[in-house]
Structure 1
Amino acid sequence: MNKTPIYFVPGLAAGPEIFEHLELSPEKYELHFLKWKKPLALEESITNYAMRMTEDIKEKNPVLIGVSFGGIMVQEMSKFIDAKKVIIISSVKTNTELPKKFKMAKFTKAYKLFPTTIISNFVDFTKYFIGKSLKKRAKIYKKYLSVRSKSYINWSISAVLNWQQEKPIKNVVHIHGTKDKIFPIKNINNIIEVKGGTHIMILTKAKKISKIIDETLTC
């Protein structure tokens, strides 16, 4: 039995660790986890970046799966390779699905004032997290938000806000949580709903998402 190759792209500033709770049959699927590359420059287009990401794909006709910004990236990557299926999780299919606050940030250029130093030096800041709940959250952030390069963070924020996709690409499956506060479901159409799913449901509802992925690829 030939295994279906799947390439995963994590969310903004996240590493492949965010996919560790997925339960996909190793007899059916061959899993590959891509890492973020260093942008060539702040002005590098998302199109050029996506083309460079596809250089790490060795199999033909793979499945591409991306979370959040990774969902945007796999859609861009699919423009350079023949993908069997594109699955996005907690993401958007077009720039019209971005919330108003994102559009306002783009219009006012306020995103350029975002304190990226806080993320790039996140490990240093977590020592100030007080209380059991905050310390637990800090531990999670340190583990999963592992990409802290300031140049990458600046580039990726700009890439999200300036994404030019106006119409959904073909062959895309969109899995989205009903309680996603980053990309509110009210702005989004044509999805597979995950009840109670938040923006980090790849961690909290991995079993449900695994089932949806498997059903999508075997139907």
Structure 2
Amino acid sequence: MNTIPVYFMPGLAASSSIFERILLPELQFKMIFLEWEIPLETESLSDYAKRISAKITLENPVLIGVSFGGILVQEIAKWIPVRKVIIISSVKSNLEFPLRMKIAKTTKAYKLIPLHLILNIENLAKFSFGKKVNKRLRLYEKFLSVRDIRYLDWAVEQVILWDREVVDPNVIHIHGDLDDVFPIKNISNCMVVKGGTHIMILNKYKWLNENVPKIILEQHA
């Protein structure tokens, strides 16, 4: 039996080591990990997605993205044929953003974020994973590998200015009911993981390992 290629895209500033607890059955799935690259000067999210899509060499893949990686895999799916797109702790359109992000877009307040301060690991962890990370800061430090100011500046802007308003009905959305970055109250049509926070890829991995293979193999009616 041919294995199904599954490409994983981590969240903002994170490396693919964030998926170290995710294990899919090797006889059925081939797991491939994508990494963030430094964006080119004035590169749009769409062009960036096209550039990353060139690294996806296996046909008809499943794309799985976490947080900002979830936004990116939806953009990649515009460029290549995919079997499924699964997003975790992410959003399907800018209508699911929390109010503070909508205000940041309208006021351009995101341009005032002193991004050089985010390079401090504690701030970067809070920014990428949510507020409840202090207790395990050393653990999270190893996952946050992209500390290039140009990348962070670009990434924050691409999230805030993401222009998708029409949801792709084929996107499968897995979301925690305790996510403090993208609160569940703003999210519609998702599979809810009880007790899942914005970093549930790390602490709800048992649920994901049990359910993601089934979700991939499920046939759409």
**For 1:78-89, what aligned pairs fall within 5 Å after superposition?**
78-89=77-88
**1:40-99 per-position Cα deviation (integer Å, ceiling 9, x unaligned):** 12x321100100010101111000000000000000000000000000000000000001
**For 1:1-219, what aligned pairs fall within 5 Å after superposition?**
1-41=1-41, 43-122=42-121, 136-219=135-218
> 1:130 is matched with which residue?
none
**1:10-54 per-position Cα deviation (integer Å, ceiling 9, x unaligned):** 00000001100012111111011000011112x321100100010
> 2:128 is matched with which residue?
none
How far apart in 1 are the matches of 2:172 and 2:16? 20
The offset of 1:210, in angstroms, is 1.9
Cα contact 1:23–1:207 (8 A) shared by 2: no
Amino acid at match of 2:208: I
SS across alignment from 2:142: helix
The offset of 1:206, in angstroms, is 0.7
The offset of 1:134, in angstroms, is 7.8
Give the alignment's TM-score, normalised by structure 2. 0.91
The offset of 1:121, in angstroms, is 4.4
RMSD of the TM alignment (CA)? 2.0
How far apart in 2 are the matches of 1:137 and 1:179? 18
Sequence identity (%)? 50
How far apart in 2 are the matches of 1:80 and 1:150? 27
The offset of 1:218, in angstroms, is 1.9
How many pairs are equivalent?
212
SS across alignment from 2:53: helix
**1:108-140 per-position Cα deviation (integer Å, ceiling 9, x unaligned):** 1111121221233438x99xxxxxx98752202
Tell which deviates more after alignment, 139-148 or 61-70: 139-148
Q: After TM superposition, what 4+ stretches of structure 1 lie above 4 angstroms from structure 2?
A: 133-136
**1:174-210 per-position Cα deviation (integer Å, ceiling 9, x unaligned):** 0000000100111111100100100000000011012
Structure 1 unaligned regions, length at least 5: 127-132
Give the alignment's TM-score, normalised by structure 1. 0.92
SS across alignment from 2:207: helix
SS across alignment from 1:8: strand
How far apart in 2 are the matches of 1:141 and 1:216? 28
How far apart in 2 are the matches of 1:52 and 1:144? 23
SS across alignment from 1:180: coil
SS across alignment from 1:56: coil
How far apart in 1 are the matches of 2:147 and 2:57? 27
Q: 1:60 to 1:97 in 2, by over 3 A?
A: same
SS across alignment from 2:157: helix
